[in-house]
A and B are shown apart, each in its own frame.
Chain A
Amino acid sequence: MTTQAAPAIVPNFGDDATTGRKLAIICSKGTLDMAYPGLILANAALGEGVETHLFFTFWGFDMITKSRMGDLKFTMLGNTATHMPQGIGGLPGMTAMATHQMKKQIAEVGVPEVPEFLEQIVASGGHLWACRMSADMMHLSKDDLYEGVEDIINAADFIEKTDGAQLLFI
């Protein structure tokens, strides 16, 4: 590089940054549409070299419960953003149809289903934590949860693990 007249233009990948950025995402929803924001942001953060922790709590527990994680649903009920009359959403079969449609749209843009997405997040170095209170309420143990979940921890543990992190509640 010393032979060059002008210095080469090299992208800054932030490798020299001394302070590690950290992101904590609390996933509290169990619907298909609300599962994705946390997963997408976690995946993006990991791809940028950010240490990322996800905490699954209350309805968000469905995202990591083996028997349910592949079967999250989307309903039109209570969601005015579908711009359909609310009564239609309550008809039999509508939730299944809306779920099917949304899954199709997600697959079309090359985004994986929830279990595979979690697998990718873990492979990228992401940390998954389950909420102790939710596990106790639902009588679930670690065996019921996705194997990528590192542990069932309480809220204080999570706060401690994510010291200095930016935090998102979804």
Chain B
Amino acid sequence: MPVTTIAGRDVHVDDEGFLTVYDEWDPDLARQLAAQIGLDLTDEHFKALTFLRADYVTQGETATLRRVSALGGIPTKELFSLFPKKPAKKMAYIAGLPKPHGCV
């Protein structure tokens, strides 16, 4: 499992760069991860990330876009504007979680 250095910290990631250790994440790291893919995080972004991380704890897998909109209460349209083009994967990356596996 590769180790990469982000914000002066060593974190465990998979081959693509998604974090693999849940507890190595914190909001500061999230800002750094976001910056790496050209995003500047706002409170709205954090609302989605917080839902995603909390949901992961109970479900054992990363929420799909539909789950974030249906249960997290953030409209799909907004998710696409917050995390352009590939919202589900970008959210998962910044939230320090694996890519979602669900189809919908």
Contact = CB atoms under 8 A, between A and B. Distances in A.
Interface in B72-100: 75-77, 80, 84-90, 93
A52 B84 CA distance: 15
A24 to B, nearest CB: 19
A8 B5 contact: yes
B52 to A, nearest CB: 15
A10 B37 contact: yes
Interface in A4-49: 4-6, 8-15, 40, 43-44, 47-49
Interface string A92-116: 0000000000000000011110000
A11 B87 contact: no
A4 B22 CA distance: 23
Nearest to B14: A9
A4 to B, nearest CB: 5
A40 B4 contact: no
A123 B4 contact: no
B86 A5 contact: no
B30 interface: no
Interface size class of B (residues with CB under 8 A): 20 to 34
Contacts of A13: 37, 85-86, 89-90, 93
Given A10-B36, A110-B104, A123-B76, A47 B87 contact: yes
Contacts of B16: 9, 11-12
Nearest to A119: B76
Interface residues of A, number: 28
B65 A47 contact: yes
A91 to B, nearest CB: 32
Contacts of A110: 64, 66-67, 102, 104
B69 A9 contact: no
Contact of B85 (A1, A9, A11, A15): A15
A32 B16 CA distance: 37
Nearest to B38: A15
A109 to B, nearest CB: 8
Interface of B: 2, 4-6, 8, 13, 15-18, 36-38, 64-67, 69-70, 75-77, 80, 84-90, 93, 102-104
Closest 6 CB pairs of A and B: A49-B85, A123-B76, A9-B17, A11-B17, A11-B16, A9-B4
Given A8-B4, A9-B16, A117-B104, 10 more contacts: A10-B17, A10-B36, A43-B66, A44-B104, A111-B103, A120-B66, A123-B77, A123-B80, A124-B76, A124-B80
